[in-house]
Amino acid sequence: MNFAEYLFEHSARKEDLFLAGTREELRHDELYQKVNACAERLHAQFGTQNEFLLVSDNTLFFIVSYLAIIKSGNHALVIEPRTSDADLDAILHMCDIACVLAQNKYAPRFGDAAPVMDEAVLDLPAPGDARCDAPMDDDETAVVLFTSGSTGTKKGVMLSHKNLRANTESIIRFLEITENDRIYALLPFSFTFGTSLLHTHLRAGGSMVMGNSVFPGAIVTEIDQYRCTGFAGVPSTYQILANKTSFLDREFPHLRYFQQAGGQLVNKYLAMIGNAFPGKPFYVMYGLTEATARCSFLPPEHFWHKLGSIGKGIPGDVHLEVVDDRGLPVGPGETGEIVVTGDSVMRGYYKDPDATAQAIRDGRLYTGDLATVDEDGFVYFLERKSSIIKSGGFRISPNEIEALIMGIDGVSACAVIGVADDLMGESVAAIVRPDNNHHSSSTNTSTN
């Protein structure tokens, strides 16, 4: 089934708002009409099985273009608007782009490299009265998202209609999203976490507010103002809100839950948020682009006694395991690599069979992330294998040192990195930001 048709299956004629807020207001049925008109135009002009590059901020233009590309039976290649000129040039040379759909302010970047459609496409009528209908095989590519590997080279992650549908169903299930839910969408749609918010709330018949990413203070105001029931963020989102706004002092009477992925939020901040909002579930999740969006979550009832865990595999056929170098499950407390199986695992890397074969072995996605498991099978993320600091024969965990430093009074944020050392190979450096609201006379940080 075409993934875009799946998303609109229950809401194409729904007259309730899908987009709310000052930036955009649009009903479900109005969105469907816009998507169908754009899809029909793309289908009439280009046919199917073509590659369309999409670059836009979180806007109505992004939503309509993204869904229209998929609905028309083509492939949406989504890039982050801040992609460097060098990376953009590499992507344009690597891909077979039929057309670029670009927000007006980004359109000039493409020059004569490819045909460009800008925001005017939203105002063009469909070329005919027929509804665009492009049934797709489940395993056909729907979306390609570009992610940086350990070398910094952009790799295109190919996600199929089945990948997207399976992950959407699972997230709706464990977050219990319904048509009564409204998400505050702050995260970029050019990343899987951001698009998953779009997918889940469109499929469930809910609604979303495209949030203000520039002014943190506006976020806490708008969550209340627009009666949002859900809020999603990465670690830095919660750290900024906790340190720079009245977030922890708010009540958010309409908010039902929080969700967090996109990295490890240290226990200090998890505890702060858990204590500030004891009646609101906080879902800690783990995921990566290669597994569509999310592949594990910690049920909120385990939040306190499994603090710091990323939980277990999400509902459905997703299986998350931590294995040793031989591919065998590690014991409690032992370190290994997270591997994932199930319908959420990507088709592979775009035009890169070698990288695909390295990542997917024996039907399992090797994530490159190190973790441990406890005696109850709960997984605890440690760090990327590539981030380990090797010093004097020792393998040092940056995240472990960061957690220790974050436990010191007067520390607001820190980052631990390895720096070149002629004697030790690498030495450990810590970049620490003091808490300006902390009234201690000094902050003494030492690492042995």
Q: Is residue 446 part of a domain?
A: no
pTM for the full model? 0.88
d(CA 189, CA 210): 10
d(CA 25, CA 231): 19
Does residue 161 surpass a pLDDT of 90? yes
pLDDT value of residue 214: 80
Question: Residue 427 — pLDDT band, cuts 50, 70, 90?
Answer: confident
Question: What's the structural domain count of the chain?
Answer: 2
d(CA 235, CA 294): 15
Q: Three-state SS across 266-331?
A: CHHHHHHHHHHCCCCCEEEEECCHHHCCCCEEECHHHCCCCCCCCEEECCCCCEEEEECCCCCECC
Q: Is residue 73 part of a domain?
A: yes
Residues 418 and 339 in one domain: no
Q: Is residue 387 part of a domain?
A: no
For residues 214-235, one letter each, b for 16 or more C-beta atoms within 10 angstroms of the residue's C-beta and e for the rest, the string is eebeebbebbeebebbbbbbbb
Residues 159 and 65 in one domain: yes
Task: List pLDDT tens digits, range 300-312.
Answer: 999 999 999 999 9
Residues 240 and 162 in one domain: yes
Helix and strand counts by DSSP (H, E) for the chain: 11, 25
Cβ 185 vs Cβ 210: under 8 Å? yes
Q: Which of 354, 381, 408 marks a domain boundary? A: 381
Residues 228 and 331 in one domain: yes
Residue with tokens 């997230």: 171
d(CA 397, CA 376): 24
Residues 361 and 402 in one domain: no
Tokens encoding 392: 């004097």
82: Cβ contacts below 8 Å, ≥ 6 apart: none
Task: List pLDDT tens digits, range 34-76.
Answer: 999 999 999 999 999 999 999 999 999 999 999 999 999 999 9
Q: Which of 381, 411, 442 marks a domain boundary? A: 381
Distance of CA 342 to the CA centre of its chain: 18
Q: Is residue 448 part of a domain?
A: no
Residues 261 and 180 in one domain: yes
Residue with tokens 């209908």: 133
- The better pLDDT of the pair 128, 398 is held by 398
d(CA 178, CA 145): 27
Residue 166 half-sphere exposure toward CB, CA atoms < 13 A: 22
Does residue 186 surpass a pLDDT of 50? yes
Integer angstrom CA distances of residue 326 from 50, 323, 355: 40, 7, 20
Structural domain span for residue 409: 396-434
Q: Which of 381, 409, 424 marks a domain boundary? A: 381
State the average pLDDT over residues 365-390. Answer: 89
Sort strands 207-210 and 17-20 into parallel, antiparallel or unpaired: parallel
pLDDT value of residue 282: 98
Going through 344-439 in order, the beta strands assigned E by DSSP cover 348-349, 360-361, 364-373, 379-384, 389-391, 394-396, 411-421, 425-434
Across the chain, which distance is largest between two alpha carbons, in Å? 73
Q: Is residue 386 part of a domain?
A: no
Cβ 200 vs Cβ 227: under 8 Å? no
Cβ 283 vs Cβ 260: under 8 Å? yes
Residues 376 and 423 in one domain: no
Count of other CB atoms within 10 angstroms of residue 289: 17
- Tell me the average pLDDT of the chain: 91
pLDDT value of residue 444: 47
Task: List pLDDT tens digits, range 100-153.
Answer: 999 999 999 999 999 999 999 988 877 765 567 777 899 999 999 998 754 567
Does residue 213 surpass a pLDDT of 60? yes
Does residue 5 surpass a pLDDT of 50? yes
Residues 316 and 403 in one domain: no
Residues 164 and 238 in one domain: yes
Tokens encoding 18: 């899908």
What residue type is assigned to position 8 of the chain? F
Q: What angle do CA 218, 215, 240 make, to 5 degrees?
A: 95
d(CA 182, CA 362): 40
Residues 374 and 429 in one domain: no
Q: Is residue 389 part of a domain?
A: no
State the average pLDDT over residues 218-228. Answer: 96
CATH (domain of 217): 3.40.50.12780
Q: What percent of the chain has pLDDT over 90?
A: 77
Residues 201 and 236 in one domain: yes
Residues 369 and 416 in one domain: no
Count of other CB atoms within 10 angstroms of residue 124: 11
Instruction: Calculate the dihedral angle through the C-alpha atoms of 10, 11, 14, 16, rounding to the nearest 10 degrees.
Output: 120
194: Cβ contacts below 8 Å, ≥ 6 apart: 58, 185, 187, 188
Cβ 294 vs Cβ 305: under 8 Å? no
> Coil, strand or helix: which one is 23?
coil
